[in-house]
């Protein structure tokens, strides 16, 4: 199957991704989202919904996955089993990352909201608001990079209550106003150790900042509950009370 496919004529990573998805039988993202959740080790409903959302954005080129998600995607799509694919797949992804880093900060999705007409801005914000209203919480259990939507979707939660096996975004790490948030490798050492769970990288979304005068990019900090108990921690100067049943 894969060995007969001329992968080389795809010159943009998201186009190659879409072609590989179709080659693997994923015309839609339902089964692939399930596979991606499985290889990440998180089969929760929240992780599945987050995977659906991210796959849509990755396939249409709206956003690029973080490196860990790229590795998980490579496994879920069996890239290694397709002759001649792995090298081109990795090369185009590296090019896309370089291009993304060269983009001026003001041209990225969140800051550009300031330049949108009011009607367009309201229409853009309405979609994530309706999704939240329907009861779907997009939490990345498999370290995501869903830079999706411009609402302040990375929230600080003063108190959380969840069951063992569940995950939830409790805070967000941001950089300078309007700029990309710090990488996860820099965020993790700043987080306290937990006996009732562990931290993982969440979506890159937006968080309202009084200092910045509005939404600014933030990296979600996800709490993954692993055992019953209580804890009180401080994240970036903010108190968080955690209860796990």
Could you give the 3-state DSSP secondary structure of residue 7? Answer: helix
Q: What is the DSSP letter of 85?
A: T
Q: What is the DSSP letter of 110?
A: T
Residue 35 corresponds to which tokens in the numbers above? 């596979």
Residue 86 corresponds to which tokens in the numbers above? 């792995």
Q: What is the pLDDT of residue 22?
A: 93
Q: What is the pLDDT of residue 141?
A: 38
Exposed/middle/buried for residue 145 (C-beta within 10 Å: 0-12, 13-18, 19+): buried
Residue 60 corresponds to which tokens in the numbers above? 């249409």
| pLDDT tens sequence across 75-121 | 999 999 998 999 999 999 999 999 887 765 444 444 444 444 443 34
Say what the alpha-carbon torsion angle 86, 89, 94, 95 is, to the nearest 10 degrees: 140
| pLDDT tens sequence across 43-80 | 777 777 788 888 999 999 989 998 889 999 999 999 99
Could you give the 3-state DSSP secondary structure of residue 221? Answer: strand
Q: What is the DSSP letter of 232?
A: E
| pLDDT tens sequence across 190-232 | 999 999 999 999 888 887 777 787 778 899 999 999 999 999 9
The answer to whether the beta carbons of residues 214 and 208 sit under 8 Å apart is yes
Residue 244's contacts (CB-CB under 8 Å, 6 or more residues apart) are: 161, 162, 163, 164, 196, 197, 225, 226, 227, 228, 229, 230
pTM for the whole thing? 0.46
Q: What is the pLDDT of residue 154?
A: 79
Residue 162's contacts (CB-CB under 8 Å, 6 or more residues apart) are: 168, 223, 225, 243, 244, 245
* Rounded-to-integer distance, Cα 143 and Cα 66, Å: 8
* Rounded-to-integer distance, Cα 73 and Cα 86, Å: 12
Q: Number of helices (H) and strands (E), helices first, in the chain?
A: 7, 6
* Rounded-to-integer distance, Cα 71 and Cα 107, Å: 27
* Rounded-to-integer distance, Cα 223 and Cα 203, Å: 13
């Amino acid at each position: 199957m894969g060995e007969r496919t001329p992968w080389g004529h795809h010159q943009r990573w998201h186009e190659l991704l879409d072609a590989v998805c179709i080659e693997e039988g994923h015309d839609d993202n339902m089964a692939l989202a399930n596979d991606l959740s499985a290889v990440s080790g998180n089969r929760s409903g929240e992780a599945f919904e987050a995977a659906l959302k991210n796959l849509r954005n990755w396939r249409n080129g709206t956003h690029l996955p973080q490196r860990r998600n790229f590795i998980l995607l490579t496994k879920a799509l069996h890239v290694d089993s397709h002759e001649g694919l792995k090298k081109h797949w990795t090369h185009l992804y590296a090019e896309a990352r370089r291009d993304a880093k060269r983009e001026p900060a003001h041209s990225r999705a969140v800051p550009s909201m300031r330049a949108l007409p009011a009607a367009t801005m309201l229409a853009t914000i309405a979609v994530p608001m309706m999704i939240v209203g329907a009861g779907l919480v997009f939490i990345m259990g498999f370290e995501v990079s869903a830079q999706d939507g411009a609402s302040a979707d990375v929230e600080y939660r003063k108190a959380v209550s969840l069951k063992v096996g569940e995950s939830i975004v409790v805070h967000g790490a941001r950089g300078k106003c309007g700029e990309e948030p710090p990488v996860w490798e820099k965020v993790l050492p700043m987080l306290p150790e937990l006996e009732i769970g562990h931290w993982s990288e969440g979506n890159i979304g937006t968080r309202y900042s009084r200092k910045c005068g509005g939404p600014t990019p933030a990296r979600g900090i996800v709490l993954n509950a692993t055992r019953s108990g209580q804890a009180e921690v401080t994240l970036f100067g903010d108190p968080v009370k955690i209860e796990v049943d």
